[in-house]
Chains A and B, each alone.
Chain A
Amino acid sequence: AQSVTQLDSQVPVFEEAPVELRCNYSSSVSVYLFWYVQYPNQGLQLLLKYLSGSTLVKGINGFEAEFNKSQTSFHLRKPSVHISDTAEYFCAVSGGNNQGGKLIFGQGTELSVKP
């Protein structure tokens, strides 16, 4: 069975500082990996995804993530955060078509950016 662990439930950071949100997964099959962001009182927005190819993927709003197969990780990073990045961030994994496209989500990381 697949699972996702987000190692930090809350990450406070000052504006313009770098940030890393950690995500580890477990799976017995090849996976696709995703990061979603949820702003207050909104749905989920896709930040970026790893399907295949280059292990460093770039997404919207200046975020990037690196797929590390040996460490089964997919950490999300941004070199300089803004107040507007304050939101809940979810890491998710799917096993592709073999799993019917179902997403398994981590518990979420609340990013709080302070001035």
Chain B
Amino acid sequence: SAVISQKPSRDICQRGTSLTIQCQVDSQVTMMFWYRQQPGQSLTLIATANQGSEATYESGFVIDKFPISRPNLTFSTLTVSNMSPEDSSIYLCSVGVGLRETQYFGPGTRLLVL
């Protein structure tokens, strides 16, 4: 498994501003993922972030809105840009571990946009 931390754990932001969420893992991993969980709903994959390459975004998510960095094998950031109340969600990072890339999740960042 892996131990994953996220910062901040929660935040309240004003519309039009941006927030950068950090994800740190205690071991080197190839694959990192960012998910969004809207209130009362399931998880939706935003993008896959592999070190040394551009992030791959899922349908409905774009780099201008959710820029991602992956500077090394233990760290990634997700920025939520130009926020609106519809961006209020839990944002979770996960890492793939092992031959078949079982995913382990961080504790999440709870974002409220006013």
A residues at B contact (CB < 8 Å): 32, 34, 36, 41-46, 49, 51, 90, 94, 96-97, 100-103, 105-108
CA–CA, A107 and B42, complex, Å: 5
Say whether A97 contacts B101, CB under 8 Å.
yes
B residues at A contact (CB < 8 Å): 1, 31, 33, 41-45, 48, 56, 92, 94, 96, 100-108, 110
* Known contacts A100-B56, A101-B31, A101-B96: A46-B43 contact under CB 8 Å: no
Say whether B102 contacts A49, CB under 8 Å.
yes
B43 proximity list for chain A (CB < 8 A): 44, 90, 103, 105
Closest approach, in angstroms, between the C-beta of B5 and any C-beta of chain A? 10
Say whether A107 contacts B33, CB under 8 Å.
no
Say whether B41 contacts A100, CB under 8 Å.
no
CA–CA, A103 and B1, complex, Å: 17
CA–CA, A106 and B44, complex, Å: 10
CA–CA, A97 and B30, complex, Å: 12
Which A-B residue pairs are the 9 nearest by beta carbons? A101-B101, A43-B107, A44-B105, A43-B108, A105-B42, A101-B96, A43-B105, A105-B43, A107-B42
15 A-B pairs with C-beta separation under 8 A: A32-B102, A41-B110, A42-B108, A44-B94, A45-B105, A46-B1, A51-B102, A100-B31, A100-B48, A101-B96, A103-B103, A105-B43, A105-B44, A106-B42, A107-B42
